[in-house]
Amino acid sequence: MEREIYTKLLEWQSRRDHKPLVLDGARQVGKTYILKEFGAKEYKSVSYVNLDKDAVAKSIFEPDHDVKRIIRTLSAHTGVDIVPKDTLIIIDEIQESREALGCLKYFKEDFPEYDVAVAGSLLGISIHQDQSFPVGMIEIVRMFPMSLHEFMNATGNGKLTQLLLDCDWTAVNTLSQKYIELLRQYYYVGGMPEAVDCYISGKGPNTIRKIQKDILAGYRKDFSKHAPKKQVPRIDMVWDSLPSHLAKENKKFIYGAVRKGSRAKDFEVAITWLKDSGLVYKVHRVHKIEYPLSFYEDFDVFKVFPLDVGLLGAMADVPASQMLVGDNIFKEFKGAFTECYVNEQLARIQIPSFYYSTNESEVEIDFAVQTEKRVIPIEAKAEENVKSKSLKTYINEHPNLKGLRVSMLNYIDQGWMENIPLYAIEGYLRAEGIV
């Protein structure tokens, strides 16, 4: 399956004297696969080690930071002659070794001619555990679950993707039923590569759901393996609470909903751990939608979304019949899947997102983002019934802004706001010049 991140890997390779590459991201988003594919296609040879499964490989980095010794030993261990620029050195699960992480500095300083790419799912946690992190000596690239565009391309619908990228609204509106069906499938399958591959292979929804459940079980093992011991029960509670939080009309994260009587101090570390590990996104409230949005950020009020809409369905045990048949997924569940989906598409193009609300008003704007051109208040609606006063009220009070609504309706520009279909949000924001 083609992944858009491959272009970034090529850009890294083409830069002279590039730094070691760190491919960061949650477990199971495809980091190992894409690095191996990249090495096989773009290099004469690949020297691959996995520090979680290979104790010998892990021990290679422990004695010292002598890069010559490390190269010589890696070559002997993998049976691959490591040649500058011809060989890609792949170090997988690097978070298992602080010594290996520290060695990246010396690859950059002393032997920049070697191409080194590492993958890890918990590098953010490593920073907070005071491990030796080579700041300024590496290039970090974040990898996410597959986007709707990547899902469409993988299922043989690349031409439909191109129409979205071109913002060809006449054609997109004409083909709306095809897009809606693909979006419905994406809500169920999600963007985890193994689940998408299973879907492409023609396996049934129960098999796909089992894969998603297995991924979730793997995450729980990571909680116990990597998180501070006293935080593991709290991480479990926060993780388990996400579906119920998102099923509410007001999706603000409430500590007391995790455990009665709880306060911020009880779960702050757990939420930070999940965020740093790439498993959740934390979207803070702003009390103004103005440039720059970060000036108006409220760190005490936020929403929490899981990393993948398909995994949300598995966490909530929503039956396939509710998601793949009819329009239930767009009408029920109080927009939980729609907001999760929209946030996921915003996150993967790495645009900082916020939401707006006030304590005194019933007006709430689901998301707010900024581009080089403008600040955009975004309303996310799960169906064609788009009656809502919040966006209209806010724009009436701030006529310098133009709103954006993503819904199941076709594209239309109403002057004070544009409505775009849910499946078109990434193409629209790309056209805005964000990425």
Same domain assignment for residues 58 and 205: no
Mean pLDDT within 149-156:
97
Q: Provide the 10 A C-beta neighbour count for residue 184.
A: 19
Same domain assignment for residues 157 and 292: yes
Mean pLDDT within 124-133:
53
Token match 């730094």: residue? 19
- Picking from 187, 137, 143, 180, the residue whose alpha carbon sits closest to that of residue 160 is 180
Same domain assignment for residues 197 and 137: no
Q: Provide the 10 A C-beta neighbour count for residue 44.
A: 12
- Picking from 47, 37, 38, 40, the residue whose alpha carbon sits closest to that of residue 14 is 38
Same domain assignment for residues 281 and 384: yes
Q: Residues of the chain with pLDDT > 90: what percent?
A: 74
How many distinct structural domains can be found in the chain?
2
Phi, psi (5° rounding) for residue 417?
-160, 160
Residue 247 has pLDDT above 70, yes or no: yes
Among the candidates 142, 161, 185, a domain finishes at 142
Residue 326 has pLDDT above 60, yes or no: yes
Dihedral sign computed on CA atoms, order 259, 255, 314, 221: negative
Residue 322 has pLDDT above 80, yes or no: no
For the stretch 162-210, pLDDT in tens is 999 999 999 999 999 999 999 999 999 999 999 999 999 999 999 999 9
For residues 357 and 288, give the distance between their C-alpha atoms in angstroms, rounded to a whole number: 9
| pLDDT computed for residue 122 by the predictor | 58
Same domain assignment for residues 135 and 156: no
Burial 256-275 (b: 16+ CB within 10 A, else e): eebeeeeeeebbebbbbbbe
Residue 323 has pLDDT above 80, yes or no: no
Q: Mean pLDDT of all residues in the chain?
A: 90
Same domain assignment for residues 387 and 421: yes
For residues 296 and 274, give the distance between their C-alpha atoms in angstroms, rounded to a whole number: 24
Mean pLDDT within 39-62:
96
| pLDDT computed for residue 120 by the predictor | 83
The amino acid at 82 = I
Asked whether the beta carbons of 200 and 155 are under 8 A apart, the reply is yes
| pLDDT computed for residue 128 by the predictor | 47
Tokens of 133: 């992190």
User: Which CATH number covers residue 40?
Assistant: 3.40.50.300
Q: In what order do the strands lie in the sheet with 115-120?
A: 45-50, 87-92, 115-120, 21-24, 139-142
Same domain assignment for residues 219 and 244: yes
Mean pLDDT within 29-53:
97
Residue 100 has pLDDT above 80, yes or no: yes
Among the candidates 107, 142, 177, a domain finishes at 142
Mean pLDDT within 400-427:
94
| pLDDT computed for residue 349 by the predictor | 84
Same domain assignment for residues 180 and 116: no
Q: How confident is the model at residue 235 (pLDDT cuts 50, 70, 90)?
A: very high
Same domain assignment for residues 134 and 154: no
Q: How confident is the model at residue 5 (pLDDT cuts 50, 70, 90)?
A: very high
Residues linked to residue 286 through DSSP beta bridges, in sequence order: 297, 356
For the stretch 352-403, pLDDT in tens is 899 998 876 678 899 999 988 889 999 998 766 566 678 999 999 999 999 9
Same domain assignment for residues 304 and 345: yes
Q: Provide the 10 A C-beta neighbour count for residue 153.
A: 20
Residue 313 has pLDDT above 70, yes or no: yes
Phi, psi (5° rounding) for residue 182?
-65, -40
Token match 């773009």: residue? 42
Mean pLDDT within 76-82:
97
49 Cβ neighbours under 8 A, 6+ residues apart:
57, 60, 74, 77, 78, 90, 91, 92
Among the candidates 142, 169, 203, a domain finishes at 142
For residues 402 and 78, give the distance between their C-alpha atoms in angstroms, rounded to a whole number: 57
Choice between 345 and 350, residue whose per-residue pLDDT is larger: 345
Q: Provide the 10 A C-beta neighbour count for residue 331.
A: 14
Same domain assignment for residues 265 and 372: yes
Determine the structural domain holding residue 137 and report its residue range. 5-142
For the stretch 153-171, pLDDT in tens is 999 999 999 999 999 999 9
Same domain assignment for residues 296 and 184: yes
162 Cβ neighbours under 8 A, 6+ residues apart:
none
Q: How confident is the model at residue 48 (pLDDT cuts 50, 70, 90)?
A: very high
